């Protein structure tokens, strides 16, 4: 057993001002601090896509350190993470999504830093799970926010040892003001809050189809959309075409969501095909807003959304079915009231921040009692080298001195997310996740 103290560096990207992981840390960190942990959030900093100020401005109560990788190189990213570890005197590093964190922790350990290393998995995706599995010999504890990932990541022959993988559920703050029971509202308000990206998981195209059909199919209603990302222009255009029925609010802080977004809604929409938890759904439920959601991967296992008890569910990709579910709630006030009350009570009983922090506190303390993992030692030929065989560290110093930077085309290039280059491992994990894949509307019609 090693005494690792109480200093935590929680590594996070800054390409989005609002996202599920950002909300997760905003909820968890203050509760951990109440329990005596000293937590600093290390923010990835890039030349174009990763801007720490957008996260810092939205979450002024947290303590941050900027990880300056603006040169755009892997050496620059490694140096930035290592500098954050040194400046915070971290005893525990908690990695979220950023692939460079694995080698940075490895280097820190090679240089004599006694660290415990926790890596999180916030989704149910084969690529992310395979990445974490490829580093299982150096991860002291893998924390999955979704239960389904545990099954795929514990399976032999590539799985984590049982003592080194845990499911720690997400949490949702309970509104400070008492929520009123659902009541007739004019207009009937439908909400959507998420990262507005063109990536397939959130299915923003389905949201746009819903928005375009709203006035004709759900009369007397209004759709409020919050968030930002690569698809926000399309959302803005939809709102401009139909300003009476659609309002685009841009990215909102949690305070704004809790004070003037969720309390004004009757129904909350989700079109995703995959969610480890569904944090925005849970936040809406905490306010008594009834989810109308796709049957995403993770819906049944997480125990958050209970079809017919606190929400209504439709097949992934079936926008017509989503509209029908919304119409049902608009036309049946008794059902809306019942689901609303059940949703609010379900969150209060099962997903409080205090419960989440206590679970994390136990695991943070337990991880220091686990046997230490072997530390890989440098060999002379392992030093990262650049042009002419000269160590990359030299070129990195030169880049910083001259201000030269490597351009990137996306946030995922500037600070790469979890990735795995082992096709055998990816296929192994993919086979396990295939059991969880939802049936889409198209597939349903074909069966």
How far apart (Å, rounded) are the C-alpha atoms in residues 445 and 260? 40
pLDDT of residue 184: 60
Q: Which of 350, 372, 392 is the last residue of a domain?
A: 350
Asked if residue 157 and residue 226 are part of one domain, the reply reads no
Asked if residue 280 and residue 416 are part of one domain, the reply reads no
Could you tell me the residue range of the domain that residue 332 belongs to? 188-350
Asked if residue 146 and residue 193 are part of one domain, the reply reads no
Flag whether 176 is in a domain: no
pLDDT of residue 274: 83
The helix (H) or strand (E) run that includes residue 23 is helix 20-34
Asked if residue 27 and residue 146 are part of one domain, the reply reads yes
Tokens found for residue 142? 């893998």
What is the full DSSP assignment across 205-233?
HHHHHHHHHHHHHSTTEEEEEE--STTHH
Q: For the whole model, what pTM was predicted?
A: 0.78
Asked if residue 30 and residue 144 are part of one domain, the reply reads yes
How far apart (Å, rounded) are the C-alpha atoms in residues 77 and 9? 16
Q: For strand 312-314 and strand 290-294, is the pairing parallel, antiparallel, or unpaired?
A: parallel
> Strands, E, within 122-207: which ranges?
141-144, 165-167, 188-193
CATH label of the domain that carries residue 53: 3.40.50.2000
Q: Which residues pair with 22 in a beta bridge?
A: none
Flag whether 415 is in a domain: yes
How far apart (Å, rounded) are the C-alpha atoms in residues 116 and 121? 17
Q: How many residues does the chain have?
A: 447
pLDDT of residue 301: 76
pLDDT of residue 5: 78
Which positions of the chain have pLDDT values less than 50? 1-2, 181, 380, 439-447
Flag whether 210 is in a domain: yes
How far apart (Å, rounded) are the C-alpha atoms in residues 24 and 171? 7
* Angular region, 403: left φ>0, alpha ψ -120 to 50, beta rest: left
What Cα–Cα distance (Å) separates residue 6 from each residue in 37, 111, 120, 140, 304? Answer: 5, 21, 19, 16, 32
Which residue has 């149910």 as its token pair?
Answer: 124
Q: Which of 307, 334, 350 is the last residue of a domain?
A: 350
Which residue has 């943070």 as its token pair?
Answer: 364
Closest CA to 202 of 266, 149, 280, 255: 280
Flag whether 423 is in a domain: yes
pLDDT of residue 396: 85
What phi, psi does 313 have (nearest 5°)? -125, 145
pLDDT digits (tens, 9 = 90+) for 221-250: 999 999 988 899 999 999 999 999 999 999
pLDDT of residue 437: 54
Asked if residue 49 and residue 120 are part of one domain, the reply reads yes
Closest CA to 15 of 420, 418, 410, 280: 410
Asked if residue 358 and residue 323 are part of one domain, the reply reads no
pLDDT of residue 319: 95
The helix (H) or strand (E) run that includes residue 313 is strand 312-314
pLDDT of residue 8: 98
Asked if residue 92 and residue 159 are part of one domain, the reply reads yes
pLDDT of residue 447: 25
Flag whether 177 is in a domain: no
Domains of the chain: total: 2
Q: State the CB neighbour count (10 A cutoff) for residue 273.
A: 20
Asked if residue 161 and residue 54 are part of one domain, the reply reads yes
pLDDT of residue 443: 35
369's CB contacts (< 8 A; 6+ apart) are 1
Q: Which of 350, 374, 403 is the last residue of a domain?
A: 350
How far apart (Å, rounded) are the C-alpha atoms in residues 313 and 321? 9
pLDDT of residue 140: 97
pLDDT digits (tens, 9 = 90+) for 258-313: 999 999 999 999 999 888 778 899 999 999 999 999 998 878 777 899 999 999 99
Flag whether 138 is in a domain: yes
Asked if residue 149 and residue 139 are part of one domain, the reply reads yes
Flag whether 183 is in a domain: no
pLDDT of residue 217: 85
Asked if residue 151 and residue 70 are part of one domain, the reply reads yes
How far apart (Å, rounded) are the C-alpha atoms in residues 313 and 74? 43
Asked if residue 326 and residue 267 are part of one domain, the reply reads yes
How far apart (Å, rounded) are the C-alpha atoms in residues 68 and 51? 10
pLDDT of residue 446: 27
Tokens found for residue 38? 């000293």
How far apart (Å, rounded) are the C-alpha atoms in residues 409 and 294? 32
Flag whether 334 is in a domain: yes
């Amino acid at each position: 057993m090693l005494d690792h103290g109480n200093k935590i560096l929680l590594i996070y990207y800054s390409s989005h001002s609002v996202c599920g992981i950002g909300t997760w840390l905003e909820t968890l960190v203050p509760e951990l601090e109440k329990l005596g942990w000293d937590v600093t959030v290390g923010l990835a900093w890039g030349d174009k896509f990763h801007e720490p100020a957008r996260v810092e401005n939205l979450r002024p109560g947290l303590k941050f350190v900027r990880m300056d990788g603006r040169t755009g190189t892997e050496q620059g990213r490694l140096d930035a993470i290592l500098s954050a570890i040194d400046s915070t005197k971290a005893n525990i590093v908690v990695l979220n999504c950023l692939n460079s964190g694995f080698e940075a922790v490895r280097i820190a350990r090679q240089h004599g830093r006694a660290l415990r290393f926790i890596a999180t998995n916030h989704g149910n995706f084969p690529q992310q799970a395979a990445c974490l599995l490829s580093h299982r010999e150096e991860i002291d504890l893998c924390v999955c926010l979704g239960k389904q990932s545990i099954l795929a990541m514990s399976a032999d022959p590539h799985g984590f040892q049982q003592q080194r993988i845990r499911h720690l559920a997400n949490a949702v703050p309970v509104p400070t003001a008492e929520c009123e029971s659902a009541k007739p509202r004019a207009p009937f308000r439908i909400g959507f809050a998420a990262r507005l990206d063109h990536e397939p998981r959130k299915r923003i195209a389905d949201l746009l189809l819903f928005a375009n059909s709203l006035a004709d199919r759900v009369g007397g209603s209004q759709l409020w959309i919050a968030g930002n990302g690569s698809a926000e222009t399309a959302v803005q255009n939809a709102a401009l075409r139909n300003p009476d029925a659609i309002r685009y609010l841009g990215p909102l802080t949690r305070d704004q969501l809790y004070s003037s977004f969720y309390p004004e809604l009757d129904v909350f929409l989700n079109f995703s095909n995959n969610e480890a938890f569904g944090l925005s759904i849970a936040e809406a439920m905490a306010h008594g807003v009834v989810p109308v959601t796709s049957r995403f991967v993770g819906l049944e296992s997480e125990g958050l959304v209970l079809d017919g008890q606190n929400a209504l569910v439709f097949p992934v990709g079936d926008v017509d079915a989503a509209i029908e579910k919304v119409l049902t709630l608009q036309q049946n006030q008794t059902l809306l009231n019942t689901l609303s009350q059940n949703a609010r009570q379900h969150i209060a009983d099962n997903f409080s921040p205090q419960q989440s922090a206590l679970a994390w506190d136990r695991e943070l303390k337990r991880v220091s009692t686990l046997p230490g993992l072997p530390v890989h030692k440098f060999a002379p030929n392992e030093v990262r080298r650049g042009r002419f065989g000269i160590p990359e560290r030299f070129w990195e110093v030169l880049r910083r001195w001259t201000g030269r930077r490597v351009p990137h085309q996306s946030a995922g290039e500037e600070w790469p997310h979890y990735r795995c280059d082992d096709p055998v491992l990816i296929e192994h994990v993919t086979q396990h996740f295939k059991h969880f894949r939802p049936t889409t509307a198209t597939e349903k019609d074909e069966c």
